[in-house]
C-alpha cells in the first residue's frame, strides 16, 4: 500500500533535442485538474502472488496521473503544448506463465478519468518468449519474442503501439563479459508504412568499463500517425559506461 503526498512533474526534451516528436512542450507551466497540484494526496495498492507456474499481479491507483495529456492544450499554430495532469483511477493486471522454455505475459489497464472531457480507455499487451538453449551446440542462448499491443483510443492513443505487432530476438553469449544483443521490429497493423526497428548491444570490456550500442529507426508516411512525428529522429548511439 502506497500513500503518495507529492510527485515531480515530468521534464521533456527541448526543441533541439532528439525524440521530440516535432512538439515543443512547455513543462514550466503545467495545468492540473486538482487545485492541490503536485501535492494532491494519491493512493496505490498492489497485490502479487505465485500459483504454480503462474505469477499474478493486481494494482489500483487513484490520484493525479503521472502521464500528462499533451493533446488537450495543444496549439496547432505553434506546434507547442502545455501538459495537463488529470485525476484518474487506474486498475491493472499483469500475468506471467513460465513453463519449460516458454514465457507468456499479459499486462492490461483500465484508466478512468473524473474529467468528462478526457476519454476513459483500456490498453493491453500480450506476448511470449521462447528460449533456444545452447544453439548449434554452443553456449549461446537465443530467445525469440513476439508481442501484440492494443489501446482502446486507437489513433487518439498517447502510445505509439495502439494496434501493433512486435517480433524480436535476444542473443545471450553467456561469456564472462556478459555480452548480449537485443533487436526487434514493430509494425502498425492499421498503417502499413508505420514501423520501427531497434538494436541494443552491450559487453563488458573489463571490470569497470562496458561498451554499448543502440540503434533506433522510425518510419511512417501517415501524418495522422504518432510515429510520423519521429520519422526524422532515427539515430545510432555508441557509448562507454564506467562503473566505480
**From CA 244, how far away is CA 239, in angstroms rounded?**
16
Residues in contact with 82: Cβ distance below 8 Å, sequence separation at least 6, in sequence order: 25, 26, 29, 30, 31, 73
Q: 71 versus 148: which is more confidently predicted?
A: 148
Residue 210 CA to residue 226 CA, distance in Å, equals 34
**Mean pLDDT across 106-123:** 92
- Give 114's pLDDT tier (boundaries 50, 70, 90): confident
pLDDT at 70: 85
For cell 559487453, the residue is 203
Is residue 113 within 8 Å of 87, Cβ to Cβ?
yes
| pLDDT at 154 (0 to 100) | 58
Whole-prediction pTM value? 0.86
| Predicted pLDDT of residue 155 | 54
Q: Is the pLDDT of residue 229 over 90?
A: no
> What is the Cα–Cα distance from 62 to 90, expressed in whole angstroms?
7
Q: What are phi and psi of 220, to 5 degrees?
A: -160, 140
CA atoms within 13 A on the CB side of 178: 10
Higher pLDDT, 169 or 18: 169
Q: How far apart are the C-alpha atoms of 24 and 74, rounded to whole Å?
A: 10
2-11, 166-175, 218-227: the lowest-pLDDT one? 218-227
Average pLDDT, the chain: 91
> For the segment 207-218, what is each residue's pLDDT rounded down to a tens digit?
999 999 999 999
Q: How confident is the model at residue 4 (pLDDT cuts 50, 70, 90)?
A: very high
Amino acid at each position: 500500500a502506497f500513500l503518495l503526498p507529492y510527485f515531480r512533474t515530468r521534464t521533456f526534451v527541448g526543441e533541439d533535442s532528439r525524440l521530440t516528436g516535432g512538439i515543443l512542450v512547455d513543462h514550466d507551466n503545467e495545468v492540473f485538474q486538482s487545485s492541490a497540484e503536485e501535492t494532491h494526496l494519491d493512493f496505490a495498492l498492489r497485490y502479487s502472488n505465485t500459483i504454480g507456474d503462474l505469477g499474478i499481479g493486481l494494482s489500483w491507483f487513484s490520484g493525479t496521473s503521472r502521464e500528462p495529456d499533451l493533446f488537450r492544450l495543444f496549439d496547432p499554430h505553434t506546434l507547442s503544448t502545455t501538459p495537463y495532469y488529470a485525476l484518474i483511477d487506474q486498475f491493472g493486471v499483469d500475468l506471467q506463465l513460465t513453463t519449460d522454455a516458454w514465457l507468456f505475459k499479459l499486462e492490461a489497464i483500465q484508466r478512468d478519468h473524473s474529467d468528462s472531457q478526457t476519454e476513459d480507455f483500456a490498453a493491453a499487451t500480450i506476448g511470449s518468449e521462447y528460449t533456444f538453449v545452447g544453439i548449434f551446440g554452443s553456449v549461446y542462448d537465443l530467445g525469440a519474442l513476439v508481442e501484440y499491443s492494443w489501446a482502446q483510443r486507437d489513433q487518439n492513443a498517447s502510445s505509439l503501439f495502439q494496434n501493433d505487432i512486435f517480433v524480436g530476438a535476444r542473443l545471450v553469449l553467456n561469456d564472462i563479459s556478459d555480452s548480449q544483443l537485443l533487436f526487434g521490429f514493430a509494425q502498425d497493423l492499421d498503417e502499413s508504412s508505420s514501423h520501427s526497428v531497434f538494436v541494443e548491444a552491450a559487453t563488458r570490456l573489463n571490470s569497470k568499463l562496458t561498451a554499448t550500442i543502440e540503434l533506433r529507426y522510425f518510419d511512417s508516411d501517415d501524418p495522422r500517425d504518432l510515429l510520423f512525428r519521429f520519422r526524422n529522429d532515427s539515430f545510432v548511439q555508441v557509448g562507454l559506461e564506467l562503473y566505480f
